[in-house]
Structure 1
Amino acid sequence: MLDKSGWESQLLETGFLGIFLCPLWTLSRLPQHTPPSSIVIWGFRWLIFRIMLGAGLIKIRGDRCWWELTCMDYHYEVLLIISGNLSFLNWLTMVPSIACFDDISLGFLFSSRVKERVVQIQSKEAAKEKLPLGCYIRKVVNISFGLLIAYLSIPVVLNLLNSRQVMNTSFNPLRIVNTYGAFGSITKERTEVILQGTSSMDPNDPTAVWEEFDFKCKPGNLKRRPCFISPYHYRLDWLMWFAAFQTYEQNEWIIHLAGKLLAQEEETLSLMATNPFAGRAPPRWIRGEHFKYKFSQPGGKHASEGKWWIRKRIGPYFPPVNLKGLKKFYEDRNWPYPMRD
């Protein structure tokens, strides 16, 4: 996912290109004398090229596990205290990709009437009918626009050729031509926070049975294969990944999540893949455990057992908590205290 400045720049550049895609003085679906400029079409292709190249370069250079960029291109609108939904980024990336298809490949999207009208317009263009003055002005504007894009692309190309590329950066104050990358850098190891609950009265009892909550897509169950769900985006899973290489003090929302799971709130449970306490009494305690995950090797021992993942416990992420103990924590932050049914 791009940082804020990255997605703002991508939105701005896509919108700026869109200004020149359609004629200014008509709302006609098929304006007779003003077809989309080839310069603008190539502008969109240049944009998607930089987006895709940046996504690839960050995996080559990376120091964060690339798995979530290929298998977890997702976003989810979370309840809890987190707001915002950036799933539009996936669609925003698809928009310039359309320029990579020719008319024939996209023809099935349009009616026969529309396609016949296009053929008629192209025939008139081929006959080299005299064009209105506005069309020539538009051609001059498009050529000027193309020269501007070419000029602003010079520092971008130099940056891409540099061994120390800078991602998500604008090289001009207008942010018309930028570099993009999913992250500024990525880590080499993947760590995960696993939420576990128990019905035991004493969380420190060595015989207590701790059962895991699985999320919809993020690694958890060792035998569950990675999921491909683009262009959707599970926000909660995404945030859990970030929380794993920080502390719970830096991510207080995860304690909020624990409280909602303790209360077995249906809205929160809908964000989870499994609830080990379904049809039973709610858990008395929930804790966070910290693990390091990596893929099993094809043909290896773990893979032969049906395991996609191998994990090693790092230690506790946050200590066992219960609803009674979280009451003051919630009150201090003016959070609504979760109540069990």
Structure 2
Amino acid sequence: MAENSLDRPLLVFDGECPFCRAWVDYWKRLTGDRIDYAPYQEVGARFPDISPEQFATAAKLILPNREVRSGAHAVFTVLATASGKGSALWAYQNLPGVAAASEATYGVFARQRSFFYKATKFFWGIPIEPETYEVSTWFFLRALGAIYLIAFSSFGVQAAGLIGSQGILPLADYLDAAYTTLGRGAYWNLPTLFWVSRSDLFLKAVWIVGIVLSALVFLGLNWRTLRLALFLLYLSLVTAGQVFMSYQWDALLLEAGFLSIFLGSSPVIVKLFRWLLCRFIFLSGAVKLASGDLTWRHFTALPVHYETQPLPTPLAWYIFQLPGWFHRGSVGFLFFVELVVPFLVLAPRRLRHFAAGSIITLQILIFLTGNFAFFNLLTLALCLFLYEDATFEQPEKILARLAPQTGAAGGSSAPRRQAVFPKVFAAFVLFISGFVTAGELTTIRWRPADAVIRAIAPFEIINTYGLFANMTTTRPEIVIEGSNDGETWLAYEFKYKAGDLSRRPMFVEPHQPRLDWQMWFAALGDYHNDPWTIRCMARLLQGTSEVLALLGKNPFPNRPPRYVRALVYEYHFTTPSEKRATSHWWRRELKGMYVPPLALRGQ
């Protein structure tokens, strides 16, 4: 074979340039044996048609047919031989202006190699490792299984009292009314398996099957069909759950669960998870500013939040007592994490790691001060995709131990051939979620995109987010009372929400007592806006065991009362001196009647 003959393309680079060597080492890991690499100082003499100055100015890719590609064209051609990296070459060759812009950008990098080498060390670290996510994917799927398990279990033990046939809002009545109004359109607008059966037995079967399948995923059974089934089961409960399943973490779990169905098909799915995390965190901060809420703008929102949030923890009482400068600094940290850090989620490796640390810190603080179901756990799970395999010590050994349990790799390493569907799917998600995000913060609208958003909205696969945009500055609490004579009234005690002044706030997360939560929202308005409260009180008059099981204390254990009513109190945390004197965590004052006395007809 002649000395200058080539069996495969040869990339010739400047071997004395640390920046060039660092990136060539990275490309070698991507392309394997499909490309040969050599410094021009060693092989330049084999190609007398290319001067040393030309080699030093830009990398040259010499093809077996002797064609020479230079600069950005050479780099894109090399990357196109790696799985999933062909988009840049396609754009270079087919889109007007891309080639010129790419070569101009390459020229800037070539002339400032020293600066960009330092930037590479800072942002990526040396050596630059190919981004694979098999370890992160393995842990995420186990975490997702655990979170699904929590979600199904938590709702399951409340389902009969909330939406069962003897519950507050029976799902059968809900679906019947929807079908009467929408006809067959109800099947699309309310996607749920309960169209098959509305019975209590089927309701129990759905959440029990959800628990079983969640446990299988948690234990390592890596089947897409399991993840699809979990998504459909939880979507069915969210749809049938009405106001009791309308929380943002339910939507976030559905969106993450839907994306998880495609994990392992392409590395682009990992990027969609990052985009989801970015949107979720950023919108949580942006809506606070966009709302115009003065407590957020004046950095005074957090002490108000600790006192007025639905279910504070004991630590919330103690942190509430801290000085104003601490709370203002905490708001500053929160805004930094929610408005700046999300962009780092999409940044190079070391900035992503910083973003992960910041988000994890914020989530731990939220976890310690408020009961927000599985919200914090799910956000922490999403942060796993900010860590690539190279982050872990000896990832090959970790994978060797994990793989036998999974039955499949389950990772996000690139397939040998480019997968078209994941890229089309990713483009769709990015396009639609971009309009969803823009619609939350601006008046930007595009009719075709709005039509798609409305069509897929019932499935909650692309959602809008934004927690606590407007801070509630008071804490009204509904206290339901019963009486047999209309004179002596005894209070029903809820399991977790504020009631008894001496009862310490509790840690209940990741469980979500959904009736307690919904009572907090109901107290912000009146029963005309939340007619389910009347249904709840009617069940108490009937002595319905399924609803009574949702409460902590029934003052009428032998027979239901003749009358029930609901009062509204305004609750406040006690001061340290008040707590020492009374042992009370709360103080309250009566604000008025929420629901006047009710009785069953015929009594």
State the TM-score bracket (shorter-chain normalisation): 0.5 to 0.7
Closer, same or farther: CA 218–52 of 1 in aligned 2, 3 Å? farther
In structure 2, stretches of 5+ residues that fail to align are 1-242, 296-303, 312-365, 454-460
Closer, same or farther: CA 149–294 of 1 in aligned 2, 3 Å? same
Alignment correspondent of 1:315? 592
The equivalences for 1:8-87 within 5 A come to 10=252, 14=256, 17-18=259-260, 21-23=263-265, 37=267, 39-55=268-284, 65=305, 67-68=309-310, 71-74=370-373
Closer, same or farther: CA 90–235 of 1 in aligned 2, 3 Å? farther
Alignment correspondent of 1:301? 578
Specify the SS of the correspondent of 1:236.
helix
Q: Which amino acid in the other structure matches residue 322 of structure 1?
A: A
Q: What CA deviation, in whole Å up to 9, does each residue of 1:269-324 have, x standing for no partner?
A: 1000111223x453232210011122223x23146422222211111111122234
Q: Which amino acid in the other structure matches residue 590 of structure 2?
A: R
Closer, same or farther: CA 59–230 of 1 in aligned 2, 3 Å? farther
Aligned equivalents of 1:218, 1:253: Cα separation in 2: 18
Alignment correspondent of 2:564? 286
In structure 1, stretches of 5+ residues that fail to align are 24-35, 75-86, 126-130, 328-341
Is the contact made by 1:190 and 1:293 (CA closer than 8 Å) also made in structure 2?
yes
Say which of 222, 228, 243 aligns to 2:522. 243
The equivalences for 1:74-113 within 5 A come to 74=373, 96-100=382-386, 104=392, 112=401
Alignment correspondent of 1:336? none
Displacement, 1:262?
Answer: 2.6
Aligned equivalents of 1:58, 1:228: Cα separation in 2: 28
Is the contact made by 1:290 and 1:315 (CA closer than 8 Å) also made in structure 2?
yes
Q: What CA deviation, in whole Å up to 9, does each residue of 1:5-45 have, x standing for no partner?
A: 9789757754674465323xxxxxxxxxxxx62x5334313
Q: Which amino acid in the other structure matches residue 215 of structure 1?
A: F
Q: Does 1:137 align with 2:418?
A: yes
Calculate percent identity across the aligned residue pairs.
30
Q: What CA deviation, in whole Å up to 9, does each residue of 1:132-166 have, x standing for no partner?
A: xx62424x887888888888888889899xxxx56
Alignment correspondent of 1:80? none
Q: Which amino acid in the other structure matches residue 194 of structure 1?
A: V
Aligned equivalents of 1:184, 1:72: Cα separation in 2: 18
Q: Which amino acid in the other structure matches residue 45 of structure 1?
A: R
Is the contact made by 1:170 and 1:178 (CA closer than 8 Å) also made in structure 2?
no
Aligned equivalents of 2:586, 2:471: Cα separation in 1: 20
Closer, same or farther: CA 6–113 of 1 in aligned 2, 3 Å? closer
Aligned equivalents of 1:316, 1:97: Cα separation in 2: 46
Is the contact made by 1:2 and 1:181 (CA closer than 8 Å) also made in structure 2?
no
Alignment correspondent of 1:187? 472
Q: What CA deviation, in whole Å up to 9, does each residue of 1:221-251 have, x standing for no partner?
A: 1222333333322221122122212222333
Q: Which amino acid in the other structure matches residue 315 of structure 1?
A: G
Aligned equivalents of 1:292, 1:107: Cα separation in 2: 58
Q: Which amino acid in the other structure matches residue 319 of structure 1?
A: P
Is the contact made by 2:244 and 2:514 (CA closer than 8 Å) also made in structure 1?
no
Alignment correspondent of 2:535? 256
Is the contact made by 1:3 and 1:183 (CA closer than 8 Å) also made in structure 2?
no
Displacement, 1:186?
Answer: 3.9
Q: Which amino acid in the other structure matches residue 300 of structure 1?
A: S
Closer, same or farther: CA 141–283 of 1 in aligned 2, 3 Å? closer
Aligned equivalents of 1:237, 1:170: Cα separation in 2: 39
Which deviates more, 104-113 or 93-102? 104-113
Is the contact made by 2:437 and 2:464 (CA closer than 8 Å) also made in structure 1?
no
Is the contact made by 1:296 and 1:302 (CA closer than 8 Å) also made in structure 2?
yes
Displacement, 1:253?
Answer: 2.4
Aligned equivalents of 1:107, 1:261: Cα separation in 2: 59
Aligned equivalents of 2:433, 2:560: Cα separation in 1: 58
Closer, same or farther: CA 246–101 of 1 in aligned 2, 3 Å? same
Q: Which amino acid in the other structure matches residue 477 of structure 2?
A: E
Is the contact made by 2:481 and 2:564 (CA closer than 8 Å) also made in structure 1?
yes
Aligned equivalents of 2:384, 2:399: Cα separation in 1: 15
Is the contact made by 1:189 and 1:292 (CA closer than 8 Å) also made in structure 2?
yes
Aligned equivalents of 1:116, 1:250: Cα separation in 2: 51
Higher relative contact order (CA 8 A, sep 6+): 1
Displacement, 1:180?
Answer: 1.6
Give the TM-score taking structure 2 as reference length. Answer: 0.37
Closer, same or farther: CA 141–243 of 1 in aligned 2, 3 Å? closer
Aligned equivalents of 2:429, 2:528: Cα separation in 1: 45
The equivalences for 1:317-336 within 5 A come to 317-324=594-601
Aligned equivalents of 2:255, 2:574: Cα separation in 1: 41
Displacement, 1:179?
Answer: 4.8
Q: Does 1:198 align with 2:483?
A: yes
Q: Does 1:219 align with 2:508?
A: no
The CA RMSD measured in Å over matched residues stands at 4.9
Q: What CA deviation, in whole Å up to 9, does each residue of 1:104-134 have, x standing for no partner?
A: 499999772627999x9x9xx9xxxxx9xx6
Displacement, 1:189?
Answer: 1.6
Specify the SS of the correspondent of 1:246.
coil
Q: Which amino acid in the other structure matches residue 483 of structure 2?
A: T
Alignment correspondent of 2:510? 231
Query: In proportion to residue count, which structure has more helix?
Result: 2
Specify the SS of the correspondent of 2:403.
helix
